[in-house]
């Protein structure tokens, strides 16, 4: 049986067909010269593998790995994130309308969230609640610190009152827990002046009230009735 040099190499590499491999294996077993050839092939292979192995074990250079990373798509991501943020805002039930740019510009959101003794967050404190409970637009005096601008009913048929105060006006609506603050605007009066005028803050609050209101503002008679009913 003649065995070519190619076949000896292929035998050493385990690349012969099963039948041929058996034949060559028998020949190698009985011929020390062939066995030495096979051993040399295998030693060379082990030497080459050992020589090149460290390269494959090195960390891949960063500039190459970077080529294979998914390309960043900042615009898409940003748009998606921005959209999410916008939708997050929209979900806020009572603040969504504040997003109107003209309003947002002149509104200081959440200037105060009173934490009174038994006042839940986001509700008018006792002092403000007292004014909201008692004061009628027709009766109040011009010198009062906190003035009611108008009263109305919102979409949920709650009574709401827009008020103006030195340290920040706003809108409060009466629910079963108290006067929930729906909007807070800037103070309508500069600390230095004695004159009470409808300032920019009041105008913004009235604009918001218009959006919140279901129907026209209450007239004096309706306001009185509402107060008698406890604004419920």
Partner 1 sequence: MLALMPRLRRFAVGLAGNPADGDDLCQMTIERALTNRSKWTEGTRLDSWTYRIMRNIWIDEGRKTTRRHETFVAEEAGAGVGGDGAQESAVELSNVDRAMQKLPEDQREAVLLVMVEGYAYKEAAEIVGCPVGTLNSRLVRGRDALMGMLGEAQ
Which residues make up the interface to partner 1 (CB under 8 A)?
5-6, 9-10, 13, 15, 40-41, 43-45, 47-49, 51-53, 55-58, 60-61, 63-65, 67-68
Separation of alpha carbons 232 and 223, rounded Å: 12
Min. distance of Cβ 55 from partner 1 in angstroms? 4
8 Å CB contact between 174 and 218? no
d(CA 145, CA 189): 10
CA distances from 146 to 140, 162, 208 (A): 9, 10, 18
Q: CB-wise, 2 or 193, nearer to partner 1?
A: 2
Tokens representing 13? 């590499």
Q: CB of 39: closest distance to partner 1 in angstroms?
A: 10
| C-beta closer to partner 1: residue 59 or 230 | 59
Which string of b and e fits 68-79 if b means at least 16 CB within 10 Å? Answer: eeeeeeeeeeee
Closer of 13 and 78 to partner 1 (Cβ) = 13
For partner 1, the closer CB: 41 or 227: 41
Q: Provide the minimum distance between the beta carbon of 91 and partner 1 in the complex, in angstroms, as a whole number.
A: 39
For residue 32, the minimal CB distance to partner 1 (Å) is 18
């Amino acid at each position: 049986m003649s065995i070519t040099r190619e076949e000896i190499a292929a035998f050493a590499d385990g690349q012969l067909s099963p039948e041929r491999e058996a034949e060559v294996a028998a020949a190698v077993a009985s011929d020390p010269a062939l066995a030495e050839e096979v051993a040399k092939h295998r030693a060379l292979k082990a030497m080459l593998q050992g020589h090149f192995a460290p390269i494959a074990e090195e960390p891949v250079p960063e500039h190459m790995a970077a080529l294979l990373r998914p390309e960043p798509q900042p615009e898409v991501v940003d748009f998606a994130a921005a959209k999410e943020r916008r939708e997050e805002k929209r979900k806020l039930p009572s603040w969504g309308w504040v997003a109107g740019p003209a309003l947002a510009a002149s509104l200081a959101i959440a200037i105060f969230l009173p934490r009174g003794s038994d006042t839940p967050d986001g509700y008018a404190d006792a002092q403000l609640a007292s004014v909201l409970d008692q004061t009628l637009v027709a009766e109040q005096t011009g010198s009062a610190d906190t003035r009611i601008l108008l009263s109305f009913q919102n979409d949920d048929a709650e009574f709401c009152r827009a008020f103006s105060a030195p340290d920040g006006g706003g809108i409060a609506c009466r629910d079963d827990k108290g006067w929930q603050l729906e909007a807070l605007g800037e103070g309508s009066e500069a600390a230095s002046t004695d004159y009470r005028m409808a300032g920019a803050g009041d105008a913004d609050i009235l604009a918001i009230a218009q959006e919140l209101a279901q129907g026209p503002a209450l007239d004096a008679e309706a306001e009185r009735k509402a107060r008698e009913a406890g604004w419920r």
